[in-house]
Structure 1
Amino acid sequence: MMTRRRVLFVSLVLLTVLSLVWLMITVLPAGPSASWFHWVIVVAFACVLPWTVIGFWNASIGLLIDLLSRNPLRVVNAGAAQTPEDLPLTESTALLLCIRNEVPDRLVRNLQAMISSLGKSPYHNKFHVYVLSDTTDVAVAAMEQRMFGVLADQWAGKISVTYRRRDNNRAYKAGNIEDFCDRWGHLHTFALVLDADSLMDASAIERLVRVMTANPQIGILQGLVVGLPSRSAFTRLFQFGMRLGMRSYTLGSAWWQGDCGPYWGHNAVLRIKPFSEGCRLPVLADRHGKSSYILSHDQVEAVLMRRAGYEVRVFPLEDQSYEENPPTLVEFIQRDLRWCAGNMQYVHLLSMTGLKFTSRVQLLLAILMFAGAPAWIVLLSMVSWTLGTDSSLLEQIDLTHAGVLLLAVMTMMLLPQLASAIGVLVRPSSRKAFGGAIRFVTGLLLQILFALMVTPILWVSQSVFLFGLLAGKRITWASQNREAHRIDWLDAIRSFGFHTLVGVVMAWPVFDMGAGAILIASLFMGGLWLAIPLAVLTSRPKLGEWLVRHRLLCLPEETRPPRLLEEIARSMAVISTLPGPNHVAPESR
């Protein structure tokens, strides 16, 4: 069955790509009027299509499954659907909180809530928390030892908490987890991997562990991750779209990926023995012969787990499994470029021996996720300058086909959000959870506008960054600024002045072509023109407070707060009572 699904999916993608390329060829002048510029446009267009078309079909299939199936989980992960909800937990699970130079009070806040939730479970003695620190800042490390030591004392006798700090940060997070496997892996059957911004309810944790227990063939089980409620305007705009896109996209991709599912590096359960034995990452060498560790470790570990003979599955339903998203456009771009650097390393791994064909496709898709950015810049620039410098071409273009092509591309770019939006609108309970139909539709329109503006900013940032990598630029995995803060105008100009210049230069010929041409160009380049004010305004606390006050871009967790999020508020009182900096926790408790 899975083979048939994959053949059907590939056929749909190829047919759609070929149809759109043919449509582009029919739009452009043919015969003597054609020039090499036209063929550059066609080639660039063909390069940007794969990732866009795959996203379109993932979302379309996911929407159909969500609307037409009584049990979507059974369609994409039968083992999870058949796991009894009351299956006893008999195996030990380690919770791995991987951190590096993070503000400890936020970490303790989230971890306190998770431990408190697990503490109410009859299986609390089956869990052991490990705080795995790669912190290099001595002052932050001292705070970690103090605060996590108090947490360990508080829960002693019920849930064990172990704090360990590495002096050698070899291989970053992947090396951090590898060190855990070597030292303590034999004590546990499963490991739940958490990032510094992760938060999960005990019910979600236990559900993943139950599925792993009932299905010994699964090596990695990835939970669906959604954003935590935020007062940052940028975060609210971003994760509203993320929330809409994740469910349908993940359902659709799980339908054809099956046992070669995704692993996002956090909020997922690993089977420790095969992970430790078969998922150790290779060390790459850069152009100068120096060792280079893999930054985006997660997808590589997933394909290695499949090579070891175990399945990688996803639990594609919202289940109180959260993460925090960047508070401003600046931090968002920085995170995106770290992912870009990591994914580009996959070029060296495509020829690894023993990988499943689908696993190689996943590595290739991860590369295309960013490699298409320069093609978008070339495509938009060539279209703009070709039409702007030869006005007679407008008379030769098939405007009907051009309109169909534009509508098709815009639909494919926006469908992941629109698909889930349809699912919300057809269900009264879902509409109410998002604040009501009017607020939901208003938020959807705001998010679509936001996505249209941010996307070209990402294209320029990724393109510049990729050229830097080709020139030998090296990047390390630094900690993230997760606190909401304002971006002033000068910082915004420094960060996005180049983007604005690129946008103006790309669209310069269009400005003389009338309001209609400018409007169409703004769909793809307007975000570049407004990058500076966008960065400033979406960082303003007053805008975020206004959105919260009017319940715009709100998530279901805001209209109906789950107990876990209420626990976070209570845990803040615990943090304020922690003792002074002289308290140092022993390495193991």
Structure 2
Amino acid sequence: MPVQDLRRWSGEDGHAAPSRRTPWAARAFVFGGGGLLTAYGAVQMYEVVSVAGSTTWLQWLLLGLFTLNFSWIALAFTSALLGFGALLRRGRPAAAAAPLATRTAVVMPVYNEATARTFAAVAAIRESIEATGEGAAFDYWILSDSTRADAWIAEERAYLDLSARLGAQARLYYRHRPKNHHRKAGNIADFVTRWGGDYDHMLVLDADSLMSGDCVVTLARTMEADPDAGIIQSLPLIINRNTLFARVQQFAARLYGPVIATGLALWSGRDGNYWGHNAIIRTRAFAAHCGLPDLSGRPPFGGHVLSHDFVEAALIRRAGWSVYMLPDLTGSYEESPPSLIDIAVRDRRWAQGNLQHARVIGTAGLRLASRQHFATGIAGYLASPLWAAQLVVGIALALQTAYIRPEYFSTEFRLYPVWPRFDPVRALQLFGITMGILLAPKLFGLILGLIDGRVRRASGGGVRLVLSALIETLLSALIAPIAMLIQSGSVLQILLGRDTGWNPQRRDDGSIPWSDIVRRHRWHTILGLVAGAAAFAIATSLFLWMSPTILGLVLAIPISWASGQLGLGLALKRLGLLMTPEEHDPPAIAGRARAIEAENAARGYDDADGLRALHADPALQAGHIALLPPADPRPRGALQPDHVMAQAKVVEAETIDEAAAWLSPRERMALLHDRALLDRLGNLAG
């Protein structure tokens, strides 16, 4: 898996794929239409601010910020409109039924996850694939990067138990890395370099992924039938979510997601993108062209590539392999964070990864569409500070108009004073146009849902579907200003050079302590109160214009609290609101995964102390030792403080309780890598 050169590229090094049609008409519609809409909006905004026949520098700044922000929503609108038109006339594709002749590894990277859940997902996916009759074409790998001793031992317990239950034909494998070098990208790269040659393809999952057997087999058959495909991405739908915030996300993704994804798939064509999971990859092509270099400098812009998936898609496409999405393929699922704070934690990492792509967008040999994917990701996070800046400039202009006297004697001779004035009628019209373009993708999804009888009935009927869409729109509008400030803060931290790190994602339903919510959102509330008072003091019209933003910020603490409440989400569910077809008729694999998860939870994988579990079960200890790498990752003579302290404490301890109480988390990990210390641990008194 050679490290790729981002500065030089020769097409002779890539895959010689036959020439295929590029969707120029779709791209012209999306980008040409978006450009025309942006030009129209900019002209209208200029007419709004130049009603007096002259324009101040603040007005020019407002015009520039508005144009940038408007271009972002205009492009989203034209892409969604393309997807909407395609979905109105779509037919159900017929899946090929040829037996598989290739081998695929289903790989699930895990990092300090809930073991009962992840192994339930793997077991359910395996059962579903076996039911298709194509099970012999698939192997299953759990690739652990866990850094907590209890999580590591829980994974091994679950793996050994599941392997024993499945028997010799399990085709189930487990690997734990001593160091989580380069995080998920390094985890996958380690698998590819050590075992990837045994497989034609790999299906990459996340710890919260679920995929039906039919979906997986269809992806493998599609890859087999298309010798030029490098990555084929499915569209994962969100399921199993019950908190208020997660249910809003689940509903929005189900109703509006297919519209957006279909538009993206149509204009991207074979220059598509990869989202890091629920996708099938041609292993040898990935190995040959997706070795990621470390970027010069320190994080957040240097070091290893954080959002590796976009870069891998761009590099494999650079080499001539196709990357595309199958948005109509059903049976691909994922979960989402349960609260506003949880998604902010994940979003901080995504913000750093996307902004880091500014170092990669100029890579030699990339397709124009690949550069556009990078640009879209970067713009998605810059949009929040640009929106915040537009609000600040708007307030400054209103303040100037209300309180600052015009400059009668400027350095440049004029017959009349220069002061900012606006055309209120045209401004109101432009506001309506902007909101229409912003909300149109939601309307497209709602129309398709009302037309589709199955979706309409599963969502509680037409009235409940419309009411659910209104609830989602209202809650999203209240959350938007909070998210704007959170993302703006993230961008500022990244520009100041602060690295995000990599914290495991909280996936279970559950609320966050009130004190943490107040701490995270107190400044949002204060800013909302100050902005509201200032706007009201300047002009009542300004206060009314800013009221949605002010209300969202003032209510940031109760909104964030409500977002993580399981009771609120379930109450809406009982009323038949924010329902999705997957809730009305749950996928069989989701039900099976829940049942297996309950069985795993009863076995106590996630509740046990790892050291005590090893001490109490000699077979588990033997299994753990058998799974260790043959060579000690610590060279002889290279003493490490954690290992030295672990050795001293285990030698000093007389009982397992003493050892468990004395050892720090890092010392526990050092002990678990040392066969001699494990033997000593096993001999301690109970």
Same fold per TM (> 0.5)? yes
Q: 1:90 aligns with which of 90, 101, 107?
A: 101
Question: In structure 1, what is the Cα distance between the partners aligned to 2:425 and 2:452?
Answer: 36
1:110, distance to aligned residue in structure 2 (A): 1.7
Instruction: Please name the residue that 2:32 is paired with.
Output: 11
Question: In structure 1, what is the Cα distance between the partners aligned to 2:491 and 2:278?
Answer: 29
Q: 2:48 aligns with which of 6, 11, 27?
A: 27
1:262, distance to aligned residue in structure 2 (A): 1.8
Closer, same or farther: CA 194–288 of 1 in aligned 2, 3 Å: closer
- SS of the aligned residue for 1:292 comes to coil
1:226, distance to aligned residue in structure 2 (A): 0.8
Instruction: Please name the residue that 1:322 is paired with.
Output: 333
Instruction: Please name the residue that 1:59 is paired with.
Output: 80
Q: 1:453 aligns with which of 478, 488, 491?
A: 478
Instruction: Please name the residue that 1:78 is paired with.
Output: none
Instruction: Please name the residue that 1:557 is paired with.
Output: 582
Question: In structure 2, what is the Cα distance between the partners aligned to 1:291 and 1:392?
Answer: 47
1:427-446 counterparts in 2 under 5 A?
A: 427-446=452-471
Q: 1:546 aligns with which of 571, 575, 592?
A: 571
Question: In structure 1, what is the Cα distance between the partners aligned to 2:399 and 2:595?
Answer: 61
> CA contact under 8 A between 1:44 and 1:379: conserved in structure 2?
yes
**Which stretch of structure 1 is more off in the superposition, 4-13 or 267-276?**
4-13
> CA contact under 8 A between 1:48 and 1:373: conserved in structure 2?
no
**Which stretch of structure 1 is more off in the superposition, 514-523 or 489-498?**
514-523
Closer, same or farther: CA 258–574 of 1 in aligned 2, 3 Å: same
1:373, distance to aligned residue in structure 2 (A): 1.3
Q: Is the counterpart of residue 569 in structure 1 residue 590 in structure 2? A: no
Question: In structure 2, what is the Cα distance between the partners aligned to 1:525 and 1:109?
Answer: 44
Question: In structure 1, what is the Cα distance between the partners aligned to 2:506 and 2:454?
Answer: 35
Deviations 1:331-366 (A, max 9, x none): 011111110000011011122111111111211111
Deviations 1:46-87 (A, max 9, x none): 22233322211111111111113445xxxxxxxxx57x4312
Closer, same or farther: CA 573–69 of 1 in aligned 2, 3 Å: closer
Question: In structure 2, what is the Cα distance between the partners aligned to 1:455 and 1:264?
Answer: 23
1:408-423 counterparts in 2 under 5 A?
A: 408-423=433-448
**Which stretch of structure 1 is more off in the superposition, 388-397 or 528-537?**
388-397
Question: In structure 2, what is the Cα distance between the partners aligned to 1:518 and 1:54?
Answer: 29
Question: In structure 1, what is the Cα distance between the partners aligned to 2:299 and 2:206?
Answer: 32
Deviations 1:416-447 (A, max 9, x none): 22211110112222200212112211111110
Instruction: Please name the residue that 1:312 is paired with.
Output: 323
Give the TM-score, by structure 1 length: 0.93
Structure 2 spans left out of the alignment, 5+ residues: 1-21, 405-418, 606-612, 629-686
Question: In structure 2, what is the Cα distance between the partners aligned to 1:483 and 1:119?
Answer: 28
**Which stretch of structure 1 is more off in the superposition, 3-12 or 95-104?**
3-12
Q: Is the counterpart of residue 252 in structure 1 residue 263 in structure 2? A: yes
Closer, same or farther: CA 70–113 of 1 in aligned 2, 3 Å: closer
1:206-245 counterparts in 2 under 5 A?
A: 206-245=217-256
1:60-209 counterparts in 2 under 5 A?
A: 60-70=81-91, 81=93, 84-209=95-220
1:569, distance to aligned residue in structure 2 (A): 3.0
Q: Is the counterpart of residue 527 in structure 1 residue 576 in structure 2? A: no
Deviations 1:441-464 (A, max 9, x none): 111111001111222222111111
Q: 2:502 aligns with which of 449, 466, 477?
A: 477
Q: Is the counterpart of residue 377 in structure 1 residue 378 in structure 2? A: no
Instruction: Please name the residue that 2:6 is paired with.
Output: none
Closer, same or farther: CA 420–576 of 1 in aligned 2, 3 Å: same
Matched residues, number: 578
Closer, same or farther: CA 60–525 of 1 in aligned 2, 3 Å: farther
Q: 2:357 aligns with which of 327, 346, 356?
A: 346
Deviations 1:70-117 (A, max 9, x none): 45xxxxxxxxx57x4312111111011011011111112222211221
1:577, distance to aligned residue in structure 2 (A): 5.2
1:133, distance to aligned residue in structure 2 (A): 0.7
- Counterpart code for 1:149: L
**Which stretch of structure 1 is more off in the superposition, 395-404 or 336-345?**
395-404
Instruction: Please name the residue that 1:284 is paired with.
Output: 295
Question: In structure 2, what is the Cα distance between the partners aligned to 1:347 and 1:254?
Answer: 23
Question: In structure 2, what is the Cα distance between the partners aligned to 1:435 and 1:240?
Answer: 13
> CA contact under 8 A between 1:162 and 1:587: conserved in structure 2?
no
Instruction: Please name the residue that 1:39 is paired with.
Output: 60
1:237, distance to aligned residue in structure 2 (A): 1.2
Q: 1:504 aligns with which of 529, 541, 565?
A: 529
Larger Rg: 2
Closer, same or farther: CA 290–38 of 1 in aligned 2, 3 Å: closer
Give the TM-score, by structure 2 length: 0.80
Q: CA RMSD in A?
A: 2.2
Closer, same or farther: CA 460–202 of 1 in aligned 2, 3 Å: same
Question: In structure 1, what is the Cα distance between the partners aligned to 2:476 and 2:165?
Answer: 44
> CA contact under 8 A between 1:259 and 1:312: conserved in structure 2?
yes
**Which stretch of structure 1 is more off in the superposition, 459-468 or 571-580?**
571-580
1:228, distance to aligned residue in structure 2 (A): 0.9
Q: 1:335 aligns with which of 346, 350, 353?
A: 346
**Which stretch of structure 1 is more off in the superposition, 568-577 or 10-19?**
568-577
Closer, same or farther: CA 21–525 of 1 in aligned 2, 3 Å: farther
- Counterpart code for 2:330: D
Over the matched positions of the two proteins, sequence identity in percent amounts to 31
Instruction: Please name the residue that 1:77 is paired with.
Output: none
1:522, distance to aligned residue in structure 2 (A): 2.6
Deviations 1:224-283 (A, max 9, x none): 011013221110012211222210001111111101112100000000000011011121
- Counterpart code for 2:219: L
